[in-house]
Structure 1
Amino acid sequence: MSSTPPPRPAAHPVVAAGAVVLRKAPPAGTDPRVLEVLLVHRPKYDDWSFPKGKVDRGEHVVTAAVREVAEETGLAVRLGQPLDSQEYVISGGRLKVVHYWVARVLDSDDVSAYVANREIDQVRWVPVDEARELLSYKYDRATLKQAVKRRKRTTTVIVLRHAHARARSHWRTDDRFRPLLKLGTMQADRLVPLLAAYDATRLVTSSSLRCVATVVPYADACGRKVVTEDRLSEEDATTRGVTDLVEELVDADKRTVLCTHRPVLPAVFDVLGLEDPRLEPGEMVVVHLRRGEAVAVERHGVR
């Protein structure tokens, strides 16, 4: 007897992004602080899940994750370690892929003033033990389990290759002053929400113009200072100098962007204990470190 095979997912999946937002709740009396997770209730489906939503056309998944949390809960968050993506088939036989990160709230985590709407009618901080029972889907419970294991704070170092610059063969003066192309300027602008998603607070770049110009839009948008370093320039970089600088940045335990050039990048990754991924212009690697060791690595870029 033959059986009917399940429908095949459509060629183009529905892509979504969200975050598992965790906090330690204020102590109640003599009770110890309890780990809580932020959950939302969708009246249309009568389910409890994590804040998430579809990625808009042309939007990066990292940006979408932060945006969706803000839209569905009213809270601004920064992303930490990535979690395994969820994949499942939805109505119509289409495959849905949801990208998740562990996240922490940037400012106030009070959701008592949240105004219910047709999409999300409840937002609650729920103790993790209770959330395991409240979550409506098995795959969300698995994601929560992974997030709890990865909740510990990490040092984030974002290694960025500068955006597209004018060709070296078309530049006759000092290479340090070789500027970004129009495409590179657009890439620098598009990097702003990606860097903001990780709330990078320390911006260190090669002193060459094309590197500085790559991070200035983010610095202007968030009011951060750009620190230029000759030790990251093609002309002045040495193995010892790069090693000392990267070790200083890791030891400082700040969320850092390090922007430099292709010839210097292998030395940077070597200090971080990683193979050189050979980044394209405008690409970055987000390294999550604990005690100086990489525990998670992401690669992102803009066109």
Structure 2
Amino acid sequence: MHRPRYDDWSFPKGKLDPGEHITAAAVREAAEETGLHVRLGAPLTPQSYLVAGGRTKVVHYWVGRCVGDDDVSGYLVNAEIDDLVWISVREAAEKLTYSFDRDTLDEAVKRREKTQALLVLRHGDARARKSWRKDDRLRPLLKTGTVQAERLVPLLAAYDVTTVASSSSIRCVQTVAPYAALTGFDVGLHDGLSEEDATKSSVDEVVEDLLDASAGAVLCTHRPVLPHVFEALGLEKVKLEPGGLIVVHHRKGRVTAVEQHRP
């Protein structure tokens, strides 16, 4: 896109809204500045450079793909963006104004094969175990956990999650419930992802099915079960806070990139 204020050619980008997650901002800014609806693929190396006043600016990028039509000819140019074009990689390398954008382009080209995302999610903040006298499977989220669940909605949508798999325990179901309610996707309940019933083989089975999914998927489970999940994915153990997640990008059963996001 061309910005008349700076007379430069660069990629779409923008600032976070208050409380907004970087992945949601990426999708929103792409829509606002190109008119295109995108879903995120593998992450790219963040850009970091100095701007006016000696401040350091950091910009996060992902490989992305359009959902539906990718025609930008109908975009209404404005005072901020007065030209917008799809061009070849070679032409883009020549037109981009900044070297750091050309570096991002080079990296994106190397990672442009389509991947799927599997989001491994630890349930949100729940009531303390020691204060709960009933069946632990029924232990619910706290108010903070409910807020975490609501704020996960745009993050899951950014990765085109259409398959939702959860431990059958209430705190996990409540963590993915807002996303399922908004999208209409069913929540697959799995006793084999619960603290009480999870085994290596039960977790392997769920992970294998999700890796075969045709689009993005999320798996919500508990801290003690996460090591089984990471082993099934061939990953080192990752410490996740309640409501935290990792995004595993994979292609044909092979993990190609991993990113972690805090709650």
Offset of 1:98 from its aligned partner? 0.7
Deviation at 1:250, TM superposition (A): 1.0
Among candidates 124, 134, 140, match of residue 163 of structure 1: 124
8 Å contact kept, 1:160–1:282? yes
Q: Which residue of structure 2 lines up, in the alignment, with residue 49 of structure 1?
A: 10
CA distance in 2, matches of 1:252, 1:198: 13
| 1:232 maps to which of 190, 193, 197 | 193
Q: What is residue 149 of structure 2 aligned with on the other side?
A: 188
Encode CA deviations 1:54-82: one digit per residue, 9 max, x unaligned: 12232211111111111111111000000
Higher Rg: 1
Query: Could you tell me which of 244, 247, 257 is aligned with 1:286?
Result: 247
1:245, 1:229 → 2: CA distance?
A: 8
Give 1:291 shift: 2.8
Give CA-to-partner distance per residue, 1:243-286, whole Å, 9 cap, x none: 12211221234311000001111000001011121211000000
Q: TM-score, normalised by structure 1?
A: 0.85
Q: With structure 2 as the length reference, what TM-score do the two structures score?
A: 0.97
Equivalence for 2:72: 111
Unaligned runs of 5+ in 2: none
Alignment of 1:66 with 2:27, yes or no, is yes
Q: Does 1:246 align with 2:207?
A: yes
* Whole-angstrom CA distance in 1 between matches of 2:184 and 2:252: 29
Residue of structure 2 equivalent to 1:9: none
1:66-85 equivalences under 5 Å are 66-85=27-46
Give the Cα separation in 2 of the matches to 1:248 and 1:223.
20
**Partner residue of 2:167?**
206
Asked if the contact 2:163–2:213 (Cα under 8 Å) also holds between the matched residues in 1, the reply is no
State how far apart, in whole Å, the 2-side matches of 1:105 and 1:251 are: 22
1:173 aligned onto 2:173: no
Separation of aligned partners in 2, 1:197 and 1:252: 17
Instruction: Supply the distance in 1 between the matched residues of 2:234 and 2:250 (Cα, whole angstroms).
Output: 11
**Structure 1 residue identity aligned to 2:199:** T
Give the aligned partner of residue 256 of structure 1.
217
Q: Determine which of 208, 211, 228 is the counterpart of 1:267.
A: 228
Out of 276-285 and 55-64, give the one that drifted further. Answer: 55-64
The aligned amino acid for 2:28 is R
Alpha-carbon distance between aligned partners in 2 of 1:142 and 1:211, rounded to the nearest angstrom: 40
More strand per residue: 1 or 2?
A: 1
Q: Distance in 1 between matches of 2:76 and 2:164?
A: 37
Q: What percentage of aligned pairs have identical amino acids? A: 62
RMSD (Å) for aligned C-alpha atoms: 1.0
Residues 1:149 and 2:110 aligned together: yes
- For residue 87 of structure 2, give the secondary structure of its aligned residue in structure 1: strand
